[in-house]
Amino acid sequence: MVPHASDQHLRRLPKVELHCHVEGASRATTIKALADRHGVALPVSDPADLYDFSSLNQFLGIYDIICACLRTADDFRRITYEALEDGANAGVRYREMFFSPGFVIRLGVPVATVWEGVRAGLLEARHDLDIHARMILDFDKPTGPAHAMEMAAFAGAQDRDLLVGIGADSVERDIDHRSFAAAFAEAGRLGLRRTIHAGEDGPADNIAVAVHELGCERIDHGFRLLDDPDLTAEVIDRQIPLTVCPTSNVVIGNVVADVASHPLARQRELGVLATVNSDDPGMMRFDIADEYVAVAQAFDYSLDDMETISLAGIEASWAPDDEKSALRHRFVAEFDALRQEYGLPTRG
């Protein structure tokens, strides 16, 4: 019989996470404390009620409220460290995590302040916790191409071991993704890795633009990929990874009714290098361990399947080759140790 894993086993399974936003990972209690400190009025009295949304636009409105509470480098240090602490508790051993300075730049907080704090939180977490992280600077699509170019230049000037790449988030509707070609070209010239939120609430054509015109090496979400068979074949052939966030597509994007109806299983059957991620675990109150449980249940995936999904995260990551190889060895050893502990046969 093919073994299935318990929820506790899946929580402890070593994982990689490649699609997780530091602001969206923030704890409601921390945002409430920072709001009080900075005299920001929140629209709710109970911080638990802060994270209540049912569409991407509503979600982004609450994202704005969170970001209005982030004023100092120390605020960013704190949310970065806490996000990594929470990730480690969900079994994440390696994470490439987004931060989105566009939301606070428009409130007068310089990107250098944001990065000072994020960098400090990242280094502290590397020292204290069993999770190794790098950051990806996401520019805000609606703020436009000049902001994108400014963010590419800023990211390009930082330590590549800490800030590994550039991405872009927020809505797709009414956005011309081609307008970011120059910013992505500059990012590539500066040696940054490139990704973008595409095909989440927008069409597969946005994925095609990302792959063919923006030089993106990874696609965040890619929910609509299978709408375009030729593009799907190319993404499979080139093994361009998708950072899939199934529950986010249900509760934030509102583009699919439930995880069981998500195209993740079909993408994997076809040979897409699809990874599983949480997106905004704080705001969703649903971390990557919960996501692994949801995916295993929805698709009746065995423990072998879930271990394979975990290893796909290593493959899709931007860690150096020697680090990837060390992660693979470590993960396989941990898979075996967990199987032994839970009385399951060794991996097939």
Please give the residue ranges that form the binding site for ligand ADE (CB under 6 A).
Answer: 21, 24, 56, 169-170, 197, 200, 248, 252, 279-280
Instruction: Give the footprint of Zn ion on residues 262-281 (CB under 5 A).
Output: 279
Of 21 and 147, nearer to ligand ADE (C-beta) is: 21
Two tokens, residue 137: 């600077």
200 catalytic? Reply is yes
Q: How many CB atoms lie within 10 A of CB 108?
A: 8
In a 10 Å sphere around its CB, with 0-12 CB exposed, 13-18 middle and 19+ buried, how is residue 41 labelled? exposed
We find the least distance from the C-beta atom of residue 97 to Zn ion, in angstroms, to be 11
Of 138 and 186, nearer to ligand ADE (C-beta) is: 138
Collapsing DSSP states into helix, strand and coil, what is residue 15?
Answer: strand
Q: Residue 252 binds what, of Zn ion, ligand ADE, none (CB under 5 to 8 Å, by partner type)? A: ligand ADE
Q: Residue 200 binds what, of Zn ion, ligand ADE, none (CB under 5 to 8 Å, by partner type)? A: ligand ADE
Phi, psi of 283 (to 5 degrees): -70, -30
Of 21 and 27, nearer to ligand ADE (C-beta) is: 21
Instruction: Give the footprint of Zn ion on residues 278-317 (CB under 5 A).
Output: 279
In a 10 Å sphere around its CB, with 0-12 CB exposed, 13-18 middle and 19+ buried, how is residue 180 labelled? buried
Of 169 and 291, nearer to ligand ADE (C-beta) is: 169
Going from the C-alpha of 53 to that of each of 11, 24, 29, 59, 211, the distances in angstroms are: 26, 13, 18, 5, 31
We find the least distance from the C-beta atom of residue 307 to ligand ADE, in angstroms, to be 26
**39 CB-near residues (< 8 Å, 6+ apart):** none
Q: Residue 24 binds what, of ligand ADE, Zn ion, none (CB under 5 to 8 Å, by partner type)? A: ligand ADE
The 3-class secondary structure across 329-343, one letter per residue, is HHHHHHHHHHHHHCC
Q: At 44, which amino acid appears?
A: V
Strands 242-244, 92-99: parallel, antiparallel or unpaired by DSSP? unpaired
CA dihedral over 216, 180, 262, 275, signed as positive or negative: positive
We find the least distance from the C-beta atom of residue 103 to ligand ADE, in angstroms, to be 9
Say which of 17, 96, 186, 200 is annotated catalytic.
200
Of 15 and 32, nearer to Zn ion (C-beta) is: 15
Q: Residue 186 binds what, of Zn ion, ligand ADE, none (CB under 5 to 8 Å, by partner type)? A: none
Minimal CB distance residue for ligand ADE: 169
We find the least distance from the C-beta atom of residue 202 to ligand ADE, in angstroms, to be 10
We find the least distance from the C-beta atom of residue 169 to Zn ion, in angstroms, to be 5
Q: Which positions are annotated as active-site residues?
A: 200
